[in-house]
Each structure stands twice: as structure tokens, then as C-alpha cells.
């Protein structure tokens, strides 16, 4: 079965529609933020995205569905239509380097934000777990919404121990109330 966005994903997309979202920094590879409506150029996927296949030779990206058709048609190792390099899933595998440009931009955005919201993360996988530290060190406010403790809980300006979807739905209601006056 195909993964579907949850209420937290839709709430984040709604923040964007309301003009209150700079970006999303995620370790997830499932494309759910984009499916929920967050523009792709605002989603920094530190571990890549399984919706794509990437050429190891030239870096060209192909929709995974397009590659799947070739696999289903009997091709054992689909190659790049441009350079004939090997195609691999767009997610970062264990031991592989993270996409440097994405990591640099996520770090820059973290250092330049005024509010950093952690939603549904234990903050134990690095380098993503550094992002809230960069924000706090640059004087941003930190909000953590997570069921379990994180290493950043003491630095949080607001700490909410609740489900991400329910909490973010309430956040959207409050933001809309603030906007409408």
C-alpha cells in the first residue's frame, strides 16, 4: 500500500498556504510533504527521496515509476538515457554521503530562521539533529512537538508531548485566528 500524508503533513502544507512556512527539513524519503501540498522547492530531503531514481554517472533524476515500468518490462539494471550510467533509488543508502547542496541549504535556513519547529522527531540522527541547535545558537525560538523526550528538550521555548497530527491541526486553527484578527 502507498503511504499517505497524515494530518501533520497537511498542517505543514497549510502553513505554507498561509504564508507562514519558510521550509521543511526532513530525513523522510517518502515524498509525503509534497503529496500534502508543500512545494518541492521548500522541502529539503536530507536522506533523498524514493520517488526518484538518480543516475550515478551524471546525476539526472527520473521518476521512479518510469524506471519501474522498465524493470517490469524485463530490464535488469535500467541505465540513464543520457550517459548510460547506472540508476539507483533516490534515497541515501547507509554509508553514502548526504546530498551536500541540500545539507548546506538546510543548515543555512536553520541558522537564519526566527522559529524552528521540530515535529515528530527524536533528534538522534545526525546531521539532521544539529539543525535545531544551529537555530537556537542563532537566537531562534525552538518548539518541539514529540511524544518522547529529545536531547533538545531543555533548550525548547515550547515543549509539547502529544501526537504531531492533532497538535499541528490545533496550531493551524490558532494561526488562522491570529491572521483573521
Q: Which residues are catalytic?
A: 47
Are 11 and 73 contained in the same domain? no
Q: Domain containing 53: what range? A: 48-91
What is the rounded distance in angstroms from the CA atom of residue 118 to the CA atom of residue 47? 17
22 has pLDDT over 70: yes
Are 162 and 102 contained in the same domain? yes
Evaluate whether 153 touches 144 at the Cβ level (below 8 Å). yes
What is the rounded distance in angstroms from the CA atom of residue 75 to the CA atom of residue 77? 6
What is the rounded distance in angstroms from the CA atom of residue 40 to the CA atom of residue 172? 21
Are 78 and 144 contained in the same domain? no
What is the rounded distance in angstroms from the CA atom of residue 166 to the CA atom of residue 31? 21
The mean per-residue pLDDT over the stretch 28-51 comes to: 91
7-17 and 164-180 helices, crossing angle to 10° = 20
pLDDT, tens digit, 9 for 90 and up, residues 106-162: 999 999 999 999 999 999 888 889 999 999 999 999 999 999 999 999 999 999 999
Are 155 and 176 contained in the same domain? yes
176 has pLDDT over 90: yes
pTM of the entire predicted model: 0.84
Give the percent of the chain with pLDDT over 70.
99
User: What is the domain count for the chain?
Assistant: 2
What does pLDDT average to over the chain? 92
Are 40 and 78 contained in the same domain? no
Residue 1 lies in a domain: no
Look at strands 87-91 and 48-55 and give their pairing.
antiparallel
Higher pLDDT, 77 or 118: 118
Residue that is last in its domain, among 36, 65, 91: 91
pLDDT, tens digit, 9 for 90 and up, residues 148-173: 999 999 999 999 999 999 999 999 99
Amino acid at each position: 500500500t502507498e503511504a499517505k500524508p497524515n494530518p501533520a503533513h497537511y498542517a505543514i502544507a497549510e502553513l505554507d498556504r498561509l504564508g507562514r512556512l519558510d521550509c521543511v527539513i526532513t530525513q523522510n524519503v517518502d515524498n509525503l510533504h509534497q503529496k500534502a501540498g508543500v512545494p518541492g522547492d521548500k522541502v529539503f530531503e536530507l536522506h533523498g527521496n524514493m520517488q526518484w531514481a538518480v543516475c550515478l554517472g551524471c546525476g539526472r533524476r527520473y521518476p521512479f515509476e518510469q524506471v519501474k515500468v522498465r524493470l517490469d518490462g524485463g530490464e535488469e539494471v535500467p541505465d540513464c538515457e543520457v550517459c548510460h550510467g547506472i540508476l539507483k533509488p533516490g534515497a541515501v543508502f547507509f554509508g553514502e554521503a548526504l546530498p551536500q547542496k541540500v545539507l548546506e541549504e538546510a543548515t543555512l535556513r536553520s541558522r537564519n530562521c526566527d522559529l524552528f519547529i521540530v515535529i515528530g522527531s527524536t533528534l538522534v540522527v545526525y546531521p539532521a539533529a544539529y539543525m535545531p541547535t544551529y537555530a537556537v545558537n542563532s537566537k531562534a525560538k525552538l518548539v518541539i512537538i514529540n511524544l518522547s523526550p529529545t536531547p533538545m528538550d531543555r533548550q525548547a521555548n515550547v515543549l509539547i508531548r502529544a501526537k504531531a497530527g492533532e497538535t499541528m491541526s490545533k496550531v493551524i486553527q490558532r494561526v488562522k485566528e491570529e491572521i483573521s484578527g
